[in-house]
């Protein structure tokens, strides 16, 4: 039943105290909130108040009694985003927590569904969720069982391929065997099927399966009852960051929305930066075709950045071909131009950034409102060193996540085996941690038995301890381990889960192992274990905790103190700062050579979107820099400015470089007319490497440089076939070599 929406019209005085739902919304935003029926795509540019629209829309649905919380399915990409949405909607609802709606990430929602219907795909409802590390190890096991050469065929490549198939919504039977390509001796498809079979034996699922299984269930006519139930349940669907969806996620949504057709997707095609992990920009570009009758609402007024910054960003992104097209505008005035600076090397770059940071500080700007956004994490080091030197407090965001730490994964492995003893990957992880004298030989014996009988490792331990096949010492160790696990299992229902975890870690000797460890990071690891146990309190039981830990756990960054943020561009999506520094704009580093090599124009366009994301993080000031040479893997590598530097509209930037360093847009390229050089040629079994080392001119400065180290150059007669893997060397060398 629809309530009269007129009564919430902005013109009408509201009767409740929290009436400001529509206050200050511009017409497009208001339209995006109020268009409730039919498919809607809200194309929301950077800083256009997307979050506001999204939460207002949800609050509006609830307040007007158009939907109950249980009838809303809201999907985000990160748990953080889900949490934020929950809080903000509650706030709009007058501080009352909103419960009962299906809010979460694609994976958490699918996992929740799959728990209820696991039997339809042959799983128990207490299945374990494997992370990417487990996936690789499983792939490795299967390849080894096939007698394949792990060195020639990296298991990681197979695991990635399987994940990518899953992201595309493909199960083994959807694939022809020739889709294996060269991968895994052409057996990739076959191995995928085996992999799935093995997962079933282990009563386990990987991340991709969560969605894939649900799609399989929904598609099967025999399960029509299930899909109908969800159709009845969900009246309104809402998806944030739609540009980041992959095919499987799209299919899942598609199936769920069939009935109501009330889907509202919010996203920005210009901020799609996760193509490398399966996101399909095409999903958002195709929206109107996929959902006939869809309405597209553009949010183009940017409330974040000043004019020059926005125009610079618009100029860069304008070079992309595949766009839905929108041009952001601001009414905040021109502000300052974007500063572009060329420097000699990465240390000079760090020094310069810090000078500017300190200059801003003297103007009264706060460190917490500044960020350095890099393309790759190795760039961070130069900045960290300089920050420490000058005593500028900083915080690195990102890095290995909490649950990916060794000690956390070990602890979880103990819990996983306790909950679900067929979890081989978990058991293998901790079977000899702490050291129990169970080495590879023993584990191989166990695995051989397990495979032959098609049973789990745990079961196979049980079998073998009933025989005399094992050495007495090994046998008694294994029996002790089995006893331990059986005892812990019996405690699951009677003991509080955090207490049980402590017991397990103590009795297994795991805690003692770290206490005895004298390495400097051991105390930190013990701390992390404590934190893990503390975080268990938030969950009802071990089962729920393990599910969330696999999907959720995040190290909460305490937002205390005044520090500058150092992170990757990817990590910065959705954030904003007064001042943003974007170092390392060199061809090959940014745009990354690998993106371009692997994905061509598509890769380049994604890199360009990353540039766009970077520039638009700033409210008042953006600084961009590039260097002439940079240390990479121990050797100094020369580079030229990123093509993105040249794409910045001249009228919105101020460019200044070290004397003699190549400046984009100025006439002189470096002059290599009179170089002196040495060529060293070394021939090995695999390749021929030529190193060209010499002195030559760049502008008015004489440079010494070395090209070709670690790269392969074939010289045949006059023709040069240069196969470069590294950075922007190629373009430099091209012009250089011409003169040789």
Which residues are catalytically annotated? Answer: 50-51, 240-241, 271, 617
Q: Work out whether 320 is an interface residue with DNA (CB under 7 A).
A: no
Q: How far is the CB of 89 from DNA (least distance, A)?
A: 18
CB 356 within 8 A of CB 340: no
Which residues from 660-689 bind DNA, rule CB under 7 A? none
Which residues from 134-153 bind DNA, rule CB under 7 A? 150-151
> Which residue of 483, 499, 554, 700 would you call a contact of DNA, by CB under 7 A?
554
Q: Strand 72-76 and strand 635-638: pairing? A: unpaired
Measured CA to CA, the distance from residue 670 to residue 330 in angstroms comes to 39
- The contacts of residue 374 (CB under 8 Å, 6+ apart) are 380, 383, 566, 567, 568, 569, 583, 584
Which residues from 190-219 bind DNA, rule CB under 7 A? 207
Number of residues that bind DNA (CB under 7 A): 44
Collapsing DSSP to helix, strand or coil, 726 comes out as coil
Could you write out the DSSP letters of every residue in 505-560? HHHTTHHHHHHH--STTHHHHHHHHHHHHHHHTTSSSHHHHHHHHHHT--------
- The contacts of residue 471 (CB under 8 Å, 6+ apart) are none
> Which residue of 6, 225, 440, 468 would you call a contact of DNA, by CB under 7 A?
440
Could you write out the DSSP letters of every residue in 228-268? HHHHHH-SEEEESSGGG--HHHHHHHHHHHTTT--EEEEE-
CB 619 within 8 A of CB 385: no
Q: Work out whether 277 is an interface residue with DNA (CB under 7 A).
A: yes
* Region of 291-299, 430-438, 481-489, 613-621 interacting with DNA (CB under 7 A): 430-438
* Region of 60-68, 224-232, 485-493, 548-556 interacting with DNA (CB under 7 A): 548-556
Please name which of 252, 205, 50, 189 lies closest in space to residue 551, comparing C-alpha atoms: 205
Q: Strand 204-206 and strand 236-239: pairing? A: unpaired
Binding mask 456-485 for DNA (x = CB under 7 A): ------------------x-----------
> Which residue of 56, 203, 592, 727 would you call a contact of DNA, by CB under 7 A?
592
Q: Work out whether 567 is an interface residue with DNA (CB under 7 A).
A: yes
Q: Work out whether 509 is an interface residue with DNA (CB under 7 A).
A: no
Collapsing DSSP to helix, strand or coil, 732 comes out as helix
> Which residue of 94, 186, 325, 437 would you call a contact of DNA, by CB under 7 A?
437
Measured CA to CA, the distance from residue 251 to residue 280 in angstroms comes to 12
Q: How far is the CB of 440 from DNA (least distance, A)?
A: 5
Nearer to DNA, 438 or 624 (CB): 438
> Which residue of 107, 198, 337, 429 would you call a contact of DNA, by CB under 7 A?
107
Nearer to DNA, 547 or 658 (CB): 547
Nearer to DNA, 212 or 655 (CB): 212
Which residues from 66-105 bind DNA, rule CB under 7 A? 77-80, 105
Q: Work out whether 401 is an interface residue with DNA (CB under 7 A).
A: yes
CB 491 within 8 A of CB 500: yes
Nearer to DNA, 246 or 657 (CB): 246
Nearer to DNA, 552 or 615 (CB): 552
Per-residue HEC secondary structure of 51-117 comes to: HHHHHHHHHHHHHCCCCCHHHEEEEECCHHHHHHHHHHHHHHCCCCCCCCCEEEEHHHHHHHHHHHH
> Which residue of 8, 276, 447, 539 would you call a contact of DNA, by CB under 7 A?
276
Which residues from 622-641 bind DNA, rule CB under 7 A? 633-634
Nearer to DNA, 513 or 715 (CB): 513
Alpha helix positions (H), 318-431: 346-362, 380-390, 406-419, 424-430
Beta strands in 5-61 (DSSP E): 40-44
* Region of 58-66, 493-501, 594-602, 687-695 interacting with DNA (CB under 7 A): 594-602
Measured CA to CA, the distance from residue 257 to residue 239 in angstroms comes to 12
Q: Work out whether 438 is an interface residue with DNA (CB under 7 A).
A: yes
Which residues from 300-319 bind DNA, rule CB under 7 A? none
CA dihedral 100, 60, 327, 615 (to 10 degrees): -50
CB 349 within 8 A of CB 627: yes
CB 8 within 8 A of CB 64: yes
Q: Is-cis flag, bond preceding 467, omega within 30?
A: no
Q: How far is the CB of 617 from DNA (least distance, A)?
A: 14
> Which residue of 377, 495, 543, 697 would you call a contact of DNA, by CB under 7 A?
377
Q: How far is the CB of 207 from DNA (least distance, A)?
A: 3
Q: How far is the CB of 187 from DNA (least distance, A)?
A: 19
Collapsing DSSP to helix, strand or coil, 632 comes out as strand
Q: Work out whether 343 is an interface residue with DNA (CB under 7 A).
A: no
Q: Work out whether 541 is an interface residue with DNA (CB under 7 A).
A: no
Nearer to DNA, 25 or 248 (CB): 248
Collapsing DSSP to helix, strand or coil, 668 comes out as coil
> Which residue of 283, 420, 442, 639 would you call a contact of DNA, by CB under 7 A?
442
> Which residue of 184, 551, 579, 703 would you call a contact of DNA, by CB under 7 A?
551
The secondary structure element, H or E, covering residue 680 is: strand 676-683
* Region of 66-74, 435-443, 459-467, 580-588 interacting with DNA (CB under 7 A): 435-443
Beta partners for residue 712, in sequence order: 723
Q: Work out whether 598 is an interface residue with DNA (CB under 7 A).
A: yes
The secondary structure element, H or E, covering residue 682 is: strand 676-683
Nearer to DNA, 502 or 599 (CB): 599
Please name which of 31, 41, 39 lies closest in space to residue 9, comparing C-alpha atoms: 31
Nearer to DNA, 224 or 441 (CB): 441
* Region of 294-302, 306-314, 334-342, 433-441 interacting with DNA (CB under 7 A): 433-441
* Region of 94-102, 375-383, 459-467, 643-651 interacting with DNA (CB under 7 A): 375-383
Measured CA to CA, the distance from residue 645 to residue 628 in angstroms comes to 14
For the four alpha carbons of 248, 252, 255 and 258, in that order, the dihedral sign comes to negative
Q: How far is the CB of 367 from DNA (least distance, A)?
A: 21
* Region of 250-258, 431-439, 521-529, 690-698 interacting with DNA (CB under 7 A): 431-439
> Which residue of 45, 267, 571, 708 would you call a contact of DNA, by CB under 7 A?
571
Q: Work out whether 132 is an interface residue with DNA (CB under 7 A).
A: yes
Q: Work out whether 376 is an interface residue with DNA (CB under 7 A).
A: yes
Please name which of 57, 10, 429, 491 lies closest in space to residue 240, comparing C-alpha atoms: 57
* Region of 24-32, 434-442, 514-522, 669-677 interacting with DNA (CB under 7 A): 434-442
Q: Work out whether 570 is an interface residue with DNA (CB under 7 A).
A: yes
Q: Is-cis flag, bond preceding 434, omega within 30?
A: yes
Phi, then psi, of 597 in degrees rounded to 5 = -65, -45
Q: Work out whether 740 is an interface residue with DNA (CB under 7 A).
A: no
* Region of 52-60, 188-196, 253-261, 590-598 interacting with DNA (CB under 7 A): 590-598
Collapsing DSSP to helix, strand or coil, 630 comes out as strand
Q: Note the residues at the interface with DNA (CB under 7 A).
A: 77-80, 105, 107-108, 131-132, 150-151, 207, 276-277, 375-378, 398, 401, 432, 435, 437-442, 474, 551-552, 554, 567-568, 570-571, 592, 594-595, 598, 603, 607, 633-634
């Amino acid at each position: 039943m629809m309530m009269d929406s007129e009564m919430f019209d902005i013109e009408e005085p509201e009767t409740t105290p929290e009436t400001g739902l529509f206050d200050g919304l511009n017409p497009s935003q208001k339209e995006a909130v109020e268009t409730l029926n039919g498919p809607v795509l809200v194309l929301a540019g950077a800083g256009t108040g997307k979050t506001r629209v999204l939460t207002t829309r949800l609050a509006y649905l609830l307040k007007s009694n158009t939907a109950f919380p249980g009838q809303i399915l809201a999907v985000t990409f990160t748990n953080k985003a889900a949490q934020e949405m929950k809080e903000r909607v509650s706030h709009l609802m007058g501080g009352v927590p909103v419960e009962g709606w299906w809010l979460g990430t694609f994976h958490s929602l699918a996992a929740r569904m799959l728990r209820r219907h696991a039997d339809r795909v042959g799983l128990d409802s207490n299945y374990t969720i494997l992370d990417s590390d487990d996936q690789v190890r499983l792939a490795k096991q299967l390849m080894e069982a096939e007698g394949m050469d792990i060195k020639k065929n990296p298991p990681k490549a197979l695991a990635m391929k399987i994940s990518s198939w899953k992201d595309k919504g493909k199960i083994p039977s959807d694939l022809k065997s020739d889709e294996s390509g060269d991968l895994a001796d052409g057996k990739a498809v076959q191995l995928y099927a085996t992999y799935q079979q093995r997962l079933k034996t282990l009563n386990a699922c990987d991340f991709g399966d969560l969605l894939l299984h649900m799609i399989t269930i929904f598609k099967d006519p025999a399960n029509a009852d299930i899909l109908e139930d969800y159709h009845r349940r969900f009246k309104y669907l809402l998806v944030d960051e739609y540009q980041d969806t992959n095919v499987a996620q799209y299919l899942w949504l598609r199936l769920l929305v069939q009935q109501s057709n009330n889907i509202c997707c919010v996203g920005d095609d210009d901020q799609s930066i996760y193509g490398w992990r399966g996101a399909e920009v095409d999903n958002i570009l195709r929206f109107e075709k996929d959902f006939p009758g869809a309405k597209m609402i553009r949010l183009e007024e940017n409330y974040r950045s000043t004019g020059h910054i926005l125009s610079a960003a618009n100029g860069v992104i304008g070079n992309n071909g595949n766009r839905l097209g929108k041009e952001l505008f601001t009414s905040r005035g021109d502000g300052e131009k974007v500063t572009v600076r060329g420097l000699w090397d990465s240390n000079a770059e760090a020094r310069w950034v810090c000078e500017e940071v300190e200059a801003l500080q003297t103007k009264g700007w706060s460190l917490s409102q500044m960020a350095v956004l890099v393309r790759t994490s190795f760039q961070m080091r130069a900045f960290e060193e300089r920050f420490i030197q000058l005593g500028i407090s900083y915080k690195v965001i990102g890095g290995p996540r909490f649950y990916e730490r060794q000690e956390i994964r070990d602890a979880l492995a103990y819990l996983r085996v306790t909950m679900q003893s067929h979890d081989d990957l978990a058991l293998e992880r901790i079977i000899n941690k702490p050291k129990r004298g169970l080495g590879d030989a023993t584990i191989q014996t166990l695995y051989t038995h397990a495979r032959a009988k098609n049973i789990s490792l745990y079961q196979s331990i049980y079998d073998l301890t009933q025989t005399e096949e094992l050495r007495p010492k090994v046998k008694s160790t294994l029996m002790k381990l089995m006893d331990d696990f059986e005892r812990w299992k019996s405690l699951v229902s009677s003991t509080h889960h955090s207490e049980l975890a402590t017991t397990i870690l103590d009795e297994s000797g795991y805690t003692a192992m770290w206490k005895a460890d004298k390495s400097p990071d051991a105390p930190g690891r013990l701390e992390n274990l404590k934190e893990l146990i503390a975080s268990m309190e938030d969950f009802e039981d071990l089962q729920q905790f393990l599910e969330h830990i696999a999907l959720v756990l995040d190290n909460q960054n305490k937002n205390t103190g005044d520090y500058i943020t150092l992170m990757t561009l990817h990590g910065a999506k959705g954030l904003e700062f007064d001042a943003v520094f974007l170092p390392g704009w060199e061809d090959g580093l940014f745009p990354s050579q690998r993106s371009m090599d692997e994905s061509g124009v598509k890769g380049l366009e994604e890199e360009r979107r990353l540039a766009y994301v970077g520039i638009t993080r700033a409210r008042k000031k953006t600084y961009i820099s590039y260097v002439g040479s940079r240390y990479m893997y121990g050797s100094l590598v020369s580079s030229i400015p990123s093509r993105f530097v040249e794409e910045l509209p001249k009228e919105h930037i101020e460019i200044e470089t070290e004397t003699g360093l190549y400046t984009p847009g100025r006439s002189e390229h470096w002059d290599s007319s009179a170089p002196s050089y040495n060529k060293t040629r070394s021939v090995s079994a695999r390749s021929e490497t030529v190193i060209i080392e010499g002195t030559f001119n760049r502008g008015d400065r004489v440079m010494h440089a070395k090209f070709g180290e670690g790269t392969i150059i074939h010289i045949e007669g006059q023709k040069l076939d240069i196969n470069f893997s590294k950075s922007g060397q190629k373009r430099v060398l091209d012009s250089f070599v011409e003169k040789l």
